[in-house]
Structure 1
């Protein structure tokens, strides 16, 4: 069973709550607390780890404890492909092209994997058995990842050869859409900033966020552990609350563009097309407990 020594060491109450929501999914013993079910389809799913829209058709993809899902005609989760592995880090890189990480159902770490058919099948690229990326971002032709196994920020151009960056205790990362050197990370002290592509980070400051997503230069979004969605127009120097996402404690956040935001909480996936002012449920999921 694979544990998360770096992430588990974070002791701040706010970030610990967020970390608890992403505890090692290789432990099947927490299923009674973590599973949810769709009222629409009856399909049982668990904690949501990642969100994305395929640019080709704007279809929603949801990476979970037991596979990648997309909404069916009734708004319930429909499994994509056949894999029911635990997908942790997840990001959409282009039309039908996804990167992910996590744990096989048999245990261990998946390293970096890639799909070129919108999640129907996956190919192992590197670090299989070695690394579990709990956060992935694709920008500027580069995969940026937070390797939770080693508490390390890493980058790769080809998915095979990696550049190792800073060691830190973080939950999520986000990359500037205009500057490949600017990377943000959520830490117990607040949002930490790197200006050298993750090689070094300044100490975190400002409000503590659980998840970040940076879609446009003036549209950096952050969500705290209570589900309050905040927006920064200056790269995280200042923040303004946009709204509170329904469903309480957040599980994932993705900004598609400056006004289009996806957020997952314990009651489902919610979508906003007005910069987070209002949300509508996109995928109906109900939680059965406090994972």
Structure 2
């Protein structure tokens, strides 16, 4: 095996480990004498109305309280997988009920306090959701395909692929990227077809500003592309090691979750501030 193939094999294994971690449905938020601890995270977002941080986990959605400690939003402790903030107080998510099965697509219009089922209940588990150009883009991990919807109820099936995360161009609704074991795969037709993945391998992607496409690799290194993923520049490691989630809020504003915390950068990833403590989840 030559060096290139050995590297590809190693990165495929690393991404597989990350994929397996995100498929684990065990609980990892619990109450203790010192308060609530939060581990395995699947999604991050800021409500644009008040810049409040929301963190989707295996046991509900949390937000920092006045002291920066995790506080459960509402009463729902289901396993939240795909999660995205669409607009002020309007969130979309997917995952698993505490009783098992798939939630399909669910929606909240009160900043995560309550949720209602929209579609695909019992059928689909979206591990990644993006809202862009008035369209929901979702990676349905149950069926291994990219799906799109204008209203959250009627879906169009796209390409079949094995992916962990997706990102949509803020300028071109047809340009969709996906993280695969081979590298970042590219679609120019809204997810109907994807070209083969190309290095580097990323675990998660997020794309809010045209020149601010961010990717975090399996070791927790933050990367940035200013040309839609054609070339990448390594920015800096995010504190805390293995990544769990990534959300770009703007061209220089990034949120990232790792094994030790949720971190925020307002200078394009050069420096990070911890927004929320995370309990290392060991076995995940």
TM-score norm. by structure 1 comes to 0.91
Kept after mapping to 2: 8 A contact 1:41/1:77: no
2:171 corresponds to:
178
Alpha-carbon offset, residue 18 of structure 1: 1.3
Kept after mapping to 2: 8 A contact 1:249/1:265: yes
Aligned equivalents of 1:288, 1:164: Cα separation in 2: 34
1:158 corresponds to:
151
Q: Does structure 1 residue 43 correspond to structure 2 residue 24? A: no
Kept after mapping to 2: 8 A contact 1:39/1:286: no
1:287 corresponds to:
280
Aligned equivalents of 1:37, 1:152: Cα separation in 2: 33
Q: Deviations over 1:88-130 (max 9, x none)?
A: 0000000000000000001000000000000000010000000
2:231 corresponds to:
238
Q: Does structure 1 residue 144 correspond to structure 2 residue 144? A: no
Kept after mapping to 2: 8 A contact 1:268/1:285: yes
Q: Does structure 1 residue 19 correspond to structure 2 residue 12? A: no
Partner SS for 1:108? coil
Aligned equivalents of 2:48, 2:29: Cα separation in 1: 28
In structure 2, the CA distance between the partners of 1:57 and 1:232, relative to structure 1 (3 Å rule), is: same
Aligned equivalents of 2:173, 2:250: Cα separation in 1: 18
Work out the number of aligned pairs and report it. Answer: 274
1:234-273 mapped onto 2 (5 Å cutoff) = 234-273=227-266
1:6 corresponds to:
none
Q: Deviations over 1:131-154 (max 9, x none)?
A: 000000000000000000000100
Aligned equivalents of 1:57, 1:153: Cα separation in 2: 31
Alignment equivalent of 1:92, drawn from 74, 85, 88:
85
Aligned equivalents of 1:147, 1:40: Cα separation in 2: 38
1:82 corresponds to:
75
Alpha-carbon offset, residue 288 of structure 1: 4.6
Partner SS for 2:17? helix
2:3 corresponds to:
none
1:60 corresponds to:
53
Partner SS for 2:35? coil
2:116 corresponds to:
123
Q: Flag structure 1 segments of 5+ consecutive residues without an equivalent.
A: 1-10
Aligned equivalents of 2:111, 2:59: Cα separation in 1: 17
TM-score norm. by structure 2 comes to 0.93
Partner SS for 1:20? helix
Partner SS for 1:287? coil
Aligned equivalents of 1:38, 1:58: Cα separation in 2: 26
In structure 2, the CA distance between the partners of 1:279 and 1:106, relative to structure 1 (3 Å rule), is: same
Kept after mapping to 2: 8 A contact 1:63/1:69: yes
Alpha-carbon offset, residue 40 of structure 1: 11
User: Does 1 or 2 have the higher relative contact order (CA < 8 Å, sep 6+)?
Assistant: 1
